[in-house]
Amino acid sequence: MWPGRVNRIQQLFRSRVLRSRLWSGICLCVIAALMASLSPLSQAAAPELKAKSAILIDAETGQVLYEKDPDVRLAPASVTKVMTMLLAMEAADTGKVSYDDMVVTSTAASEIGGSQIWLMEGEEMKFEDMLKAVAIVSANDAAFALSEHIAGTEPDFVRLMNEKAKELDMKNTHFQNSDGLPASDHYSSARDIAIMSRELITKHPKILEWTSTWTDWLQRLHPRAKQKESFLRNTNELVIKYPGADGLKTGMTNEAGFCLSATAKKNDTRLIGVVMALSSNDERLDDTIKLLNYGFREFDRVVLAAHGESVGSVRIPNGRQEMVVAGVDKDYTVLVDKGKMDLITTEFVPDERKAPISKGDRVGQVIVSLDNKEIARVNVVSTEDVPRAGFFTVLSRGIRDFFRGLFRRAIPQHEISL
């Protein structure tokens, strides 16, 4: 009798233990699911792209938000014309040329081939109209004619392109022409394209008036022109398919595949996305939209410091004023993964400057990090002139600090806080 009871008790105990373990497992799964649902949006997986190489950056700061093999050297096709447009805008904005200059089409320009507006040898057109043709329909003949007008010859213009690439620290770029037609040793990278695109749209925002235009017309003044006007339709469909998109440059050849340097703005944030070596225009658009959506959805803009506001004080041991009010040289913002703003850390690194110091001189930097990764550097500057202190003042401070250290009393230190 007793063995039977013992068996029943053991069976009942095992049953209860199994049920307890089962409920514990279910509870753990529920808790895990709840935690996942409450995790910030920034934990969402980065977009999966078909592009061989891609990058997404903040146009204001250059901060990289996403990258996929961004330094691979690839044929850029007509995205090359970002540099052509940059040099053309620089020439116009510095007064080297005028938007009203009449550009004469050379024989070489009229025979260039590829995408074009069919300029005729000897045809004259305003510099602005040719630049518009490059920006909207990626006209190779107009790009070639502009290069000759600016530099005298296209080879000389290409030399300027490569000099500018070096100036911008575009480490994986070399140009052989102004239009992007296939050529040996003509290459760029997604990162470099983002760099020159940022330079173009931040320094010369007027270009966006043309790159955002979907359709337009150009007057043709050549007496043998078959039409008095040429119809222009943008090669970049993103400007009508993505809210806020207003540029920038498409490219396509058999060698390069489909490429795009795109830019879009929402509220106070402008992004630049570059995709390269895709198989079709649809893939190019899909990847670009994924990139832009990711950037606008997963990041918040945080103001680190504003120009004109105090960020604390810096110690200048030999200055007439020992503690100097510090500011920053410009407005500083950064894009941060949603939900991670409280995880930002800062570290002030002084330049150990000695007086005399002029107002606006840098006295240090604040290194801004997120998840132990540097995301920005903020220049800290003096807000006033700091003359050199007299000998006896410096001596007395040294004696004071000696005795303060001896008795473990605080010595004046930098006090910087963003």
Q: Which residues are catalytic?
A: 78, 81, 138
Residue type (1 letter), 83:
M
Assign 411 to helix, strand or coil: coil
And the tokens for 275? Answer: 């995709």
In whole angstroms, give the CA distance from residue 149 to residue 121.
14
Could you check whether the bond before residue 248 is cis, i.e. omega within 30 degrees of 0? yes
Residue 341: count other Cβ atoms within 10 Å of its Cβ.
12
In whole angstroms, give the CA distance from residue 336 to residue 147.
40
Scan for tokens 């400057």, then name that residue.
353
H helix or E strand, kind and range, residue 303? strand 299-305
Residues 6+ apart with CB under 8 A from 200: 82, 85, 86, 89, 207, 248
Closest CA relative to residue 362, chosen from 352, 370, 372, 376: 352
In whole angstroms, give the CA distance from residue 197 to residue 175.
15
DSSP state of 254: T
Q: Give percent helix, percent strand, percent coil of the chain, each to the nearest 5.
A: 40, 30, 35
369, 333 in Cβ contact below 8 A?
Answer: no
Residue 247: count other Cβ atoms within 10 Å of its Cβ.
27
And the tokens for 321? Answer: 């004023």
Strand order in the sheet with 323-328: 344-350, 362-370, 373-382, 323-328, 312-315, 415-416
DSSP for 150-198, please give it: HHSSHHHHHHHHHHHHHHTT-TT-B-S-SS----TT-BB-HHHHHHHHH
Residue type (1 letter), 291:
L
